[in-house]
Amino acid sequence: MASRKLPLFELLNYTLLTLFALTMIYPFIYILVYSLNDGKDSMLGALYFFPRKFTMDNYAQVFENHRIWQAYKITIMRTLLGTFLHVSLCTMMAYALSKKSLPGRTFFAYYIFLPTIFSAGFIPFFITLQKLHLINTFWVYVIPLLFSFFHIVIIRTFLQGIPEELEESARIDGYGDFQIFLKIILPLSGPVLATISLFIGVTHWNDWFSGAYYVSDKNLIPVQTLLQQMLTEAEALSSSLQRASQEGGQTVNVNLAGSTPESLRMALLVITVFPILCVYPFLQRYFVKGTMLGSVKG
């Protein structure tokens, strides 16, 4: 063996990948640290791995804010309802399309595939939403995301892997079509349903665009849109405050404890990211498989 070359390659590779992994995770660690540190103290800088003046004040203030609670509620509602409906409807459609004996199956498959190549673009879609009076309602979050061609294909591919003998024996036991779907197919589809739930759940959770452009009612805005609004509104304020404290020092009393718009923003960001951070590593096994299926067959 080329004993000299191997360790060098290995060393280089492990170092590179370790650096890479750090780049992926460090921004999140930094935000967490910032959100757990006293806001005014954070403005002094030199904050990297551990909070210097530990405090939960930023979170306390974020959770005191009525607008944030309302936005969080909207996000949770749309994510739960949107995910449930999307997964149910796509699974039903995928199951029907997995039936080889279904007359017209090819036609329906093309019917849902064509829009993925020729899409109309944003404006006709937006006008359609207007015409349906979905603009400025809660349903504008849920209804336009009810179906996805790629998700249907992933589910269908999975369902086609279930042996048909299983259904036949259930039929002999006197099960009808619907009972087979409910009692045989659905319980066996756990992995794929979990994957699709993650995909669409994350889409719902992360969507800020609908909240920013389809909705003007402040009570209907989801957290991501709120974060986006804070991003554009507070950026100017916080950076000028920070500049003053860094350069002048005298104008802002940096010894005063308390939250800043920046530290509140970081706390909001952490609670925005946290739920996803908790979920996705456990579903990794499934979505890796799911993505491969979707990309190869789609």
Partner 1 sequence: MTASLLWKRIWRHRLFYLFLLPGIVWFFIFSYVPLFGIQVAFRDFRFTGGFTGSPWAGLKYFRQFFDYYLAGDLIRNTLIISAMKLIVGFTMPIVLAILLNEVRSLKFKKTVQTLSYLPYFVSWVVVVTLMQRLLTPYGGPVNDFLVASGAVKDPIQFLNNTTWFYQIIVGSDVWKNIGWNSIIYMAAIAGIDQQLYEAAKIDGAGRFRQIWHVTLPGIRGISVILFILATGSLMSAGFEQLLLLNGPATAAIGSVLDVHVINSGISEGRLSYAAAVGLFQSVIALILILTVNRIARKVSDVSLF
Q: Which is nearer to partner 1, 189 or 272 (CB)?
A: 272
CA distances from 67 to 58, 146, 183, 295 (A): 15, 27, 43, 40
Nearer to partner 1, 256 or 276 (CB): 276
Residue 259 CB, shortest distance to partner 1, in Å, is 15
Rounded to a whole number of angstroms, the minimum distance from the CB of residue 80 to partner 1 is 18
> What minimum distance in Å lies between the beta carbon of 295 and partner 1?
5
Rg (CA), the chain: 25
Q: Which is nearer to partner 1, 102 or 257 (CB)?
A: 102
User: What is the number of other CB atoms lying within 10 angstroms of the CB of residue 177?
Assistant: 11
For 255-290, b/e burial (b = at least 16 CB within 10 A) is eeeebbbbbbbbbbbbbbeeeeeeeeeebeebbeeb
The 10 Å Cβ neighbour count of residue 31 is: 16
The residue among 117 and 172 lying less far from partner 1, judged by its C-beta, is 117
Least Cβ distance, residue 50 to partner 1 (angstroms): 13
Report in angstroms how near the CB of residue 14 gets to partner 1 at its nearest.
7
Q: Find the shortest distance in angstroms from Cβ 127 to partner 1.
A: 6
Is residue 193 a contact partner of residue 91, using CB atoms and an 8 Å limit?
A: yes
Q: For residues 55 and 214, which CB has a smaller minimum distance to partner 1 in the complex?
A: 214
* CB-nearer residue toward partner 1: 119 or 219: 119
Instruction: Fill in the amino acid letter for 116.
Output: T
**61 vs 291 by CB, closer to partner 1:** 291
17, 50, 78, 105 from 83: Cα distances, Å: 35, 37, 8, 26
Q: At what angle do helices 57-64 and 66-98 cross, to 10 degrees?
A: 80
For the CB of residue 62, give the shortest distance to partner 1 in the complex, in Å.
14
Q: With respect to partner 1, which residue has the nearer C-beta, 63 or 213?
A: 213
**Minimum distance from CB of 251 to partner 1 (Å)?**
14
Q: What are phi and psi of 56, to 5 degrees?
A: -105, 5
Element (H, E) at 212: helix 209-213
Give the number of other CB atoms < 10 A from CB of residue 81: 15
Long-range CB contact pairs, 291-296, < 8 A, 24+ = 293/153, 293/154, 293/157, 293/158, 294/150, 294/151, 294/153, 294/154
